[in-house]
Chain A
């Protein structure tokens, strides 16, 4: 079985500061990895995904994530956040069965 752990339920940060949202996963098979963003009362929007190849993945809105197989991590980073980045962020994995398994989410709160 697969599982996803997002250790930080909330991450407060000031505008223009860098941020890292942590994601660790557990799986006995290879997986695809995703980060989604959810704005209040909305569905999910894909930020980026790792399928194979380069372990550094660049996504939309200036976000990037690095796949680390030895540490089973897929942390999300942004060098300089904006107020508009305030949202809920979900890490997810799928073991090729296309059933997404989500982490519990991290609330990113950007302060002016």
Chain B
């Protein structure tokens, strides 16, 4: 099956520093990856759509200058949290989109999720 990895799984950083999170599709290529943020005991909120070779598309309310996304290859997208503050502490999850053929003859998209990265800003 399609496997997505994230690195690091946990990171603690000081306020004001930047942190980079990597999302890799291990056994497939993904032109599109997604970045989500999840607060404790809450749902996943889509932050941005990362497209290989082009600029990311950010959801309303997400600061693109704070959350830098780079999708330089078909298997790697990175999220950099710049000048992190304690309120940026959260669980960040990425997913990679795969297009799949369906028995009906059509196709659908499915997202495979990484294991998440726990960011703690002190």
- Which A residues touch B109, using CB under 8 A? 94, 98
| Residue in chain B with minimal CB distance to A103 | B43
Question: Does more than half of chain B's interface fall in helix, strand or loop, or is it mixed?
Answer: strand
| Residue in chain A with minimal CB distance to B91 | A41
Among candidates B34, B95, B116, residue contacting A42 with C-beta atoms closer than 8 Å: B116
Q: Contact: B114 with A99, CB < 8 Å?
A: no
Whether B108 is near chain A, meaning CB under 8 Å from some CB there, is yes
A-B interface pairs (CB < 8 A), number? 54
| Residue in chain A with minimal CB distance to B94 | A43
Size of chain A's interface in residues, with CB distance under 8 A? Answer: 22
Whether A112 is near chain B, meaning CB under 8 Å from some CB there, is no
For the complex, give the distance between the alpha carbons of A44 and B118 in Å: 14
> Closest CB of chain B to A90's CB: distance in Å?
7
User: Which of A32, A94, A99 is packed against the most chain B CB atoms within 10 Å?
Assistant: A99
What per-residue 1/0 map shows which CB atoms of A77-112 lie under 8 Å from chain B?
Answer: 000000000000010001000111011110100000
Among candidates B91, B97, B113, residue contacting A45 with C-beta atoms closer than 8 Å: B113
A residues engaging B (CB < 8 A)?
Answer: 32, 36, 41-46, 49, 51-53, 90, 94, 98-100, 102-105, 107
B residues engaging A (CB < 8 A)?
Answer: 4, 6, 32, 34, 41-44, 46, 49, 91, 93, 95, 97, 102, 104, 106, 108-116, 118
